[in-house]
Structure 1
Amino acid sequence: MNFREFLNKEKFIVLDGPMGTELIRRGIKFKTKLWSAEAIFDNWEIIQEIYIDYIKAGTDIITTNTFRTNPWTFQKLGYSLETLEKYINRAVWIARNSIEKNKSKRRVFIAGSTSPLEDCYSPDLSPDFETSYRYHKITTRLLKEASVDFILIETMNTINEALAASKAAKETGLPVATSFVLREDARILSGEDLIEGYHKLYDVGIDIFSINCTHYSVIEIILEKLLKIVKIPVCLYVNAGILKNGKWYDDKEFTPEKYRKIALKWYKMGVKIIGGCCFTTAKYIKSINRAKKLLLNN
């Protein structure tokens, strides 16, 4: 069964949690703009441990540690396309090796991650459409050649770059999920309307519409309206913290148990895929899986 068939067949799907903040939690420090990608060669065993924790928690999908492995970032750091390809191939190998090492009887799929070319919290820095398309085309092609199951375009902060990345990803022939990051009023970080973003991405032909790196309370401002109009599966993976006035604050009340209840509600509302973003852990993924099992068993 390929991922497209799985997506059509399954009613409830569990996505994994974060890689970057989880590496930091386990003692890894990042020194360059490569961020979590620095660990691909130096600390790959820890990446594997994180994946295995997510698989044991019940995830159906693990996401490649390629959030910053794009030619835009590598070019700025003076790295070649050949080096970029080595990083992407290694990242996908770690994901696949983790699945094989865990020996789970469940099929676990691999999402090939890509993100904004510039900082995901700086929509004003996003390049023009043609530049974005050209760079995202390289990344998505390399992810396909490394044999991911689908492309996950994460934390998009403008409609323009989301469209460029989605167009490039669709040309791989793989299923495509595109995800926006929202500001406090549930608009895209650029200030653009999320519903407008959905309609434009739907016209491009994406397979999954998503929101990530956003507090659950912000998503709930727009979720009911979104679910009334979408014609494709919706994916939500939230932060265990909240962004206010440009600063991160821990939400100590957002426990794994609370997320279980939220996930249960969201699945019932019609959300198909739920996972975790920054500062969540395998405990949150386990809670989502518990919500999924409860619904499937009733």
Structure 2
Amino acid sequence: MTDPIRDFIEREGFLVLDGGLATELEALGCDLNDPLWSARALIDDPEAIRAAHRRFLDAGADCIATATYQATFEGFAARGLDAAATVRVLRESVDVALSARADFLGGRGAPPLDGPPSAPGGPVAASGPPPLVAASIGPYGAYLADGSEYTGDYGLSAAELYDFHAPRWQVLAETEADVLACETTPSVEETRAYCRLAAVSHRPTWISFQCRDGARLADGTPLEAAVALCDAEPHVVAVGANCTDPSLTVSLIGAARRATGKPILVYPNSGETWDAETKCWTGPATPMDWAGSAAEWRAAGADGIGGCCRVGPAEVAAIRGGTVSFQRTVT
């Protein structure tokens, strides 16, 4: 198994992730008030998804995540798509991201793996590695669309969650995505299911957690315990935390690092709170200096930084600036 995350970090020194895809789709005029959320655009407006990917790449992202976070066989069946149509849509979601990457790179092919790396923290150079495409896998709570990805209170076992995720996982594992990205993981049972799926598929996978505070998953499991499960599975190549308040990030990096030597990826949201009943973000955003925070999180031990909900290309550009500033300080 190749490890695209570690390979990229070893070549470039750091990985800048993208921001909130749904946020950018809304900025482009997409109506996502729907149980499918960002996956609705896979049916209605795939060109908007391509444009959103390109905006993040232009802002300096080294990795873009597909619009499959909320795309499931069950969710599409409720929209009238049969299994064959769902398979086609899932595959096309990766193709859209790959196309956006190819367009960004000006049509050049991927460079040889033994070629010279580009400057650490700098833009993708002609001889540097292309940005990565991550096939996004949202938690069971994303399918429910009831906010339970922020609680993990599903009442399902790891085996039941494995059975739920397996059909989509199999399709995405057979695409040309560089890595599978399990995002906003709120529970230890879902973590167990993901680790087993990664082992069975032999595909590089990252698992990123949704945390209630600076030390525990949404379901109350200590982050260190969940990360230890990931550390024991070779096909889980990175761990992280996403859609958390930015103020928790330093603590979460420390907790994860105590349990693993694998790369740590953090991509918090704006600090607002999701209201599952009104289907909107509420409360004030956390005041943020994204460049300064990125440098701080890099110093705390993060290997990759980006943003989640309510974080757009401008913030991603600031994150890239902050990580470059950090690296120039220590070299």
Structure 2 length as normaliser, TM-score? 0.82
Counterpart of 1:115 (choices 129, 132, 138) is 138
Aligned position for 1:240: 270
Change (3 A) 1:219 1:167: same
Q: How does 1:10-21 map to 2 (within 5 A)?
A: 10-21=12-23
Aligned position for 1:221: 251
Counterpart of 1:231 (choices 250, 261, 270) is 261
Q: How does 1:274-289 map to 2 (within 5 A)?
A: 274-289=305-320
Deviation at 1:153, TM superposition (A): 0.2
Between the two proteins, the alignment pairs up a number of residues equal to 295
Does the 8 Å contact 1:187/1:193 carry over to 2? Answer: yes
Cα separation, 2, equivalents of 1:42 and 1:75: 16
Divergent runs of 4+, >4 A: 75-78, 244-247
Deviates more, 1:55-64 or 1:121-130: 121-130
> SS at 2:20's partner residue?
coil
Question: Is 1:249 aligned to residue 310 of structure 2?
Answer: no
Q: Gaps (5+ residues) in structure 1?
A: none
Counterpart of 1:174 (choices 189, 194, 203) is 203
Structure 1 length as normaliser, TM-score? 0.90
Instruction: State the Cα deviation string for residues 214-233 of structure 1 (Å, max 9, x = none).
Output: 01112333433432442111
Deviation at 1:67, TM superposition (A): 0.3
Counterpart of 2:50 (choices 48, 51, 75) is 48
Aligned position for 2:296: 265
> SS at 2:250's partner residue?
helix
Cα separation, 1, equivalents of 2:295 and 2:176: 32
Change (3 A) 1:162 1:2: closer
Q: Gaps (5+ residues) in structure 2?
A: 107-125, 143-148
Deviates more, 1:129-138 or 1:224-233: 224-233
Does the 8 Å contact 1:170/1:176 carry over to 2? Answer: no
Does the 8 Å contact 2:249/2:297 carry over to 1? Answer: no
Q: How does 1:154-233 map to 2 (within 5 A)?
A: 154-184=183-213, 186-205=215-234, 206-233=236-263
Instruction: State the Cα deviation string for residues 220-278 of structure 1 (Å, max 9, x = none).
Output: 33433432442111000010123399873231622xxx111111111122210101100
Instruction: State the Cα deviation string for residues 192-235 of structure 1 (Å, max 9, x = none).
Output: 11111111222233110110000111233343343244211100
Cα separation, 1, equivalents of 2:286 and 2:151: 27
Deviation at 1:121, TM superposition (A): 2.6
Residue 218 of structure 1 aligns with an amino acid whose one-letter code is: L
Deviation at 1:166, TM superposition (A): 2.6
Q: What CA RMSD, in Å, does the superposition of the two structures yield over aligned residues? A: 2.3
Q: Identity over the aligned pairs, expressed in percent?
A: 23
> SS at 2:216's partner residue?
coil
